[in-house]
Amino acid sequence: MTHFVAACRRLREALACTVLVLHHTALADTGRERGSSVLRGAADVVIQVAKDEGGSGCVGFQVVTARDIEPMEQPLALRLEKVETDWRDEDEHPLSTCIVRAAGQPVTLPGRGNRPLGEAQTTLLTCARELATDRQADARGFVLLARADVVTRARGRGVPRQSISSAWQSLQSRGYLRLVEPASLMLRVRA
């Protein structure tokens, strides 16, 4: 996978273009892609596109993680609409295409259900947001926080150390914060 990512990077630089990699989800955890984490680590944006688990017939589109934009909290609902064209195939049958239209309804993507945050995750996120309000955000709206400060505040509210330790990665994968160093995190401050 490391060689594949390097080849994508070389292609992007040589052609001055964007490289999109389509991947399928794992069997057990349908909210993540299968195999190596190298691909996710190298991606600037990870987008999940899948059928609505609710059976609406819509397709959901959600930015899951991203470097320079904020992940989407809820997926967009899209409906595929078949449209006949004036073109014909070699047997003179009419050709059709598909138009993507906004559906304007809630959808649930596989692996992203409406799972609420756990108690430790909620407390950690609340503590981080409280600490972020006392700091100046950068031009993109992010505040850099020391994890130790968040941990101290969460421990003061009775969250066990083990629960705190296991909550970080989940909060990052769900787009609530970004772990940037072993001892730091970035949180977008909403205006």
Tell me the per-residue pLDDT of 42-64, one tens digit each, with 9 for 90 and over: 888 988 888 888 788 899 999 88
Interatomic CA distance for residues 122 and 150, integer angstroms: 12
Q: Between these two residues, 29 and 122, which has the higher pLDDT value?
A: 122
Interatomic CA distance for residues 70 and 126, integer angstroms: 18
Q: Looking at the whole model, is its pTM more than 0.85? A: no
Q: Which residue has the tokens 């239209």?
A: 101
Per-residue pLDDT at 191 exceeds 80: no
